[in-house]
Amino acid sequence: MTTTLLGVNGVWKSFDDHPVLRGIDLTVERHQAVVLIGASGSGKSTLLRCINGLETVDAGSIFLDGDVEVTSFDTDLDAVRRRVGMVFQSYNLFPHMTVLENIVLGPQKVLGRQRRESVEIARGLLTRFGLDGKASEYPDRLSGGQAQRVAIVRALAMEPELMLFDEITSALDPLLVGEVLDAVRELKTAGLTLVMATHEMTFARDVADRVCFLHDGIVLEQGPPEQVFGHPQQAQTQLFLSRLAR
């Protein structure tokens, strides 16, 4: 049996009269990994930012867990963001804090956890993602792959129900992409619900339960990876995939 964790219903969003999302629909079940593909500017990042309220919507609604309306004016967005983790393309680690301080900031200040407990959890997560010995380093001493894994750990330390990944490997040296994708794969195995915008098609085919092709601000085509990658129905999807294959 599956239950819906995230429901996006007819969301519109424009920037200066330029429509980016044009009535987008998306449903994500618990423990599912949904991968968003599509050209740059198709609305992947904007959609992810709307889901945790970093961006307001112009029309439509977004529900978390069926009852919390993220898009309502009366919703406490800090409470929503406590349940939704996000990892960015450019890592966005806090450069004035050590790796450990980056990770325990949220649990201590937002969840009100004890210092000792937060540090313990953080160290456990660092070990789990192969970052032993990096706890007291500053972000400028990390490789891109390490920095991105720290960013993943920082989001995980809040024990989110849903994780959003916004092209988290796009800024990485090709040699470092693998270690970050392995971390995401582990989260999927652990049963976390994921929504991920990416250009890594092999990975999408491998890990996704469902692939959504975004085009001009709507989900033009979606389905299991074998279907979307193997037998794309829409001309735009075929064009996008054939361009990638070249």
Closest approach of another protein to the CB of residue 243, in Å? 25
Q: How many CB atoms lie within 10 A of CB 3?
A: 9
| CB of 67 or CB of 140, closer to another protein | 140
| CB of 67 or CB of 78, closer to another protein | 78
What residue ranges bind another protein (CB under 8 A)?
A: 49, 52, 54, 78-79, 81-82, 84-86, 88-96, 105-106, 109-110, 138-140, 147, 154-155, 158, 171
Closest approach of another protein to the CB of residue 109, in Å? 5
Amino acid occupying residue 145: G
Instruction: Give every CB contact of residue 65 below 8 A, 6+ residues apart in sequence.
Output: 5, 83, 161
Maximum CA extent, the chain:
55
Instruction: Give every CB contact of residue 209 below 8 A, 6+ residues apart in sequence.
Output: 32, 33, 34, 224
Closest approach of another protein to the CB of residue 123, in Å? 18
| CB of 77 or CB of 241, closer to another protein | 77
Closest approach of another protein to the CB of residue 89, in Å? 8
Nearest to 5 by CA among 36, 35, 30: 30
Closest approach of another protein to the CB of residue 186, in Å? 21
Nearest to 107 by CA among 155, 176, 149: 155
Closest approach of another protein to the CB of residue 122, in Å? 13
Closest approach of another protein to the CB of residue 2, in Å? 26
| CB of 156 or CB of 219, closer to another protein | 156
| CB of 45 or CB of 222, closer to another protein | 45
Instruction: Give every CB contact of residue 149 below 8 A, 6+ residues apart in sequence.
Output: 129, 130, 131, 179, 180, 183
* CA–CA separation, 116 and 71 (whole Å): 36
Encoded tokens for 139: 């972000």
| CB of 158 or CB of 241, closer to another protein | 158
Side-chain half-sphere exposure of 169, counting CA atoms within 13 A? 19
* CA–CA separation, 82 and 77 (whole Å): 9
| CB of 82 or CB of 205, closer to another protein | 82
3-state secondary structure of 153: helix
